[in-house]
Structure 1
Amino acid sequence: MKSMTGYGLSEFKDENYHIKVEIKSVNNRFLDINTRLPRFLLFAEEEIKSLLKQKLNRGKVDVFINFEFLNSDNVDLEIDYTLAKKYYEAGLIMGSKYDIENDITTSKILSMPDVVNISDAEIDPDVIKAYLLQTTEEAVNGLIGMREVEGSKLKEDFEVKLSNINSLVQKIQKRAPITLKENEVKLRDRIDKYLEESEVEEARILTEIAILLDKLSIDEEITRLFIHVKSFNDIINSNGAVGRKLDFLLQEFNREANTIGSKSNDIETLNLVVELKSEIEKLREQVQNVE
């Protein structure tokens, strides 16, 4: 089991290139990959995303790629002079309009977006792509390693909360016969008063009482809760992405807890249900972190 939160970093360096890949991820319902890389590397973007999709299932993933040429012989620079002129003229207009000092310099204009572009003089795209994918895979493996560490901590927390839930359900189970008997006594008292005032067939009344008491029984809900606890434990001990399964299962936890609450008039049972729903909510919050 893995968390959706993590960070991975990897670098590649030889006599020509220095590549640095950083990947961070946070919670998200689906897999959402955002890449930030130099424009001249866009040819490799889809393959980088494809690699990440093979490795990750859920989470908002941000990929930052820095690429540095160490050998200037491999690089040609193209300057967009038209765009540079527009930046320069915009600076003059702003300075005049707002009466501010004109500090426009050549270096500042060259640092503006898209003014300077790198063109490949002797660059082999296949070689660059191979380096990028290798470095990205190392970074994502580091991310996964951190996710696994976080996932093991979440699993330990889940086990504690599952134990609490199991204990609460056991207490509710012990109260169930008492609660049902109290409901039966109250119901018979009300029926007896009604029979004193009306002529109704007693056998039919007893049948109706039996049917109503069966509807008030919480045995099925308790049994299903025990089954859900076991299923939850099985899922967190399985491999692969489990977050969506756990999220769905917790909806079933809540449904059973709500049904028990709606059937019970016993104060002690209702208090236990409140505690039970609180533990389920704690689980639900933590499940949002699971891949």
Structure 2
Amino acid sequence: MAFFSMTGFGRGTATIRGLRVEVELSSVNRKQLDILVNLPRYLAVLESRVHEKVHHALSRGRINVDFTVQRSSSSRAEAIRVDEELARVFVTDLKKAAARLGLKDDLGSSILLNLPDVVRYEQNGASAAACWPVLEKALDLALSDLVKMRAKEGVALQKDLRKRLACLKKTIGAIRTHAPGVISLYRKNLLSRLQQAGLAIEHPDERLLRELALFADRSDITEELTRLGSHLQQADDMMKSKEAVGRSFDFLVQEMFREINTVGSKANDGAILRQVVEFKAELERIKEQVQNIE
């Protein structure tokens, strides 16, 4: 069984060398794969790698990937850089300005925090690349969690679809059983109306036979029932497939709608029309479920 729902949630957490990363994945229905990644700005260069990992694991759905990145105090300290040469230039110029203006020279180390570009918290491309191993580990854990949840939902989907497909087969069987009697019933009703109108009918009557032949041709649903049976068999095969079948199943449901609509338009019988309505109602429920299959 490889039935997967497109809705689910996954979380993964990893810590390497003082860098803690938490990844949350959420997925909802989409015909195609749509990946939305939320990374801290200084890690944006890694977005393509995230897309590649998610694309490898999933084939359909709108996937939201949210990263939360935290550094330990020691890790943050390692990322702080003081440009001493630039600070020396600033301090020298400030002292000269203070002397010229007759100001008290009370410059302290705290002044460094207010000098532009002297104290920097480095979050450049190189540090982003160094962060990838811990991001990848957390992402892998989150993807595994998401896939497990989607698989669990898929089991419930498959169980429900099997039950509904069995209902469709039963309905088709009832239509197939009833269909041969439609012509006989039409002949009986036609003769009754003619007799009530006082028209004498010879047996066999060429006009009556011609009318019955035309009716039989117009109301023949043999081909449609055969194709519906074939579609239902294909649906059974898809239930056993190890591949993603969502798109194929969706197309198959559309084909079944087309065939059962033709049956409804050809059927000149109340019992068959009731069965057609029942079939379409169940097929509509299947269509809703299929929208959630990967």
Q: TM-score range by the shorter chain?
A: 0.7 to 0.9
Pairwise mapping of residues 120-159 of structure 1 onto structure 2 (< 5 A)? 120=123, 124-159=127-162
Q: How far has the Cα of 1:50 moved from its partner?
A: 1.2
Question: Does the 8 A contact of 1:9 with 1:20 survive in 2?
Answer: yes
Secondary structure at 2:179 match in 1: helix
Q: Structure 1 residues 122, 42: CA separation in 2 closer, same or farther (over 3 Å shift)?
A: closer
> Residues of 1 paired with 2:137 and 2:44: CA distance?
16
> Residues of 1 paired with 2:124 and 2:178: CA distance?
80
2:278 equivalent to 1:275: yes
Aligned to 2:94: none
Structure 1: 5+ residue stretches without partners: 79-116
Q: Structure 1 residues 118, 241: CA separation in 2 closer, same or farther (over 3 Å shift)?
A: farther
Q: Deviations over 1:43-76 (max 9, x none)?
A: 1001101111111111111001011111222323
Query: Aligned letter for 1:215?
Result: R
Aligned to 2:249: 246
Aligned to 2:165: 162
Pairwise mapping of residues 40-189 of structure 1 onto structure 2 (< 5 A)? 40-70=42-72, 71-76=75-80, 118-120=121-123, 124-186=127-189
Q: Structure 1 residues 266, 148: CA separation in 2 closer, same or farther (over 3 Å shift)?
A: same
Secondary structure at 2:293 match in 1: coil
Q: Structure 1 residues 140, 118: CA separation in 2 closer, same or farther (over 3 Å shift)?
A: farther
Query: Aligned letter for 1:8?
Result: G
Question: Does the 8 A contact of 1:187 with 1:209 survive in 2?
Answer: no
Query: Aligned letter for 1:36?
Result: N
% same residue: 33
2:263 equivalent to 1:260: yes
Q: How far has the Cα of 1:4 moved from its partner?
A: 0.1
> Residues of 1 paired with 2:186 and 2:242: CA distance?
46
2:287 equivalent to 1:284: yes
Secondary structure at 2:172 match in 1: helix
Question: Does the 8 A contact of 2:42 with 2:124 survive in 1?
Answer: no
Q: How far has the Cα of 1:144 moved from its partner?
A: 0.9
> Residues of 2 paired with 1:74 and 1:190: CA distance?
99
Q: How far has the Cα of 1:286 moved from its partner?
A: 0.5
Aligned to 2:18: 16
Specify the structure having the higher radius of gyration (Cα): 2
Q: Deviations over 1:207-237 (max 9, x none)?
A: 5642441231112211221111111111121
Task: State TM-score, norm by structure 2.
Answer: 0.76
Structure 2: 5+ residue stretches without partners: 83-119
Q: Structure 1 residues 146, 231: CA separation in 2 closer, same or farther (over 3 Å shift)?
A: same
RMSD value over aligned CA atoms?
A: 2.7
Which region of structure 1 is more displaced relative to structure 2, 6-15 or 121-130? 121-130
Question: Does the 8 A contact of 1:21 with 1:136 survive in 2?
Answer: yes
Q: How far has the Cα of 1:192 moved from its partner?
A: 9.8
Q: How far has the Cα of 1:181 moved from its partner?
A: 2.2
Task: State TM-score, norm by structure 1.
Answer: 0.77
Q: Structure 1 residues 45, 248: CA separation in 2 closer, same or farther (over 3 Å shift)?
A: same
Q: How many residues align?
A: 248
Aligned to 2:223: 220
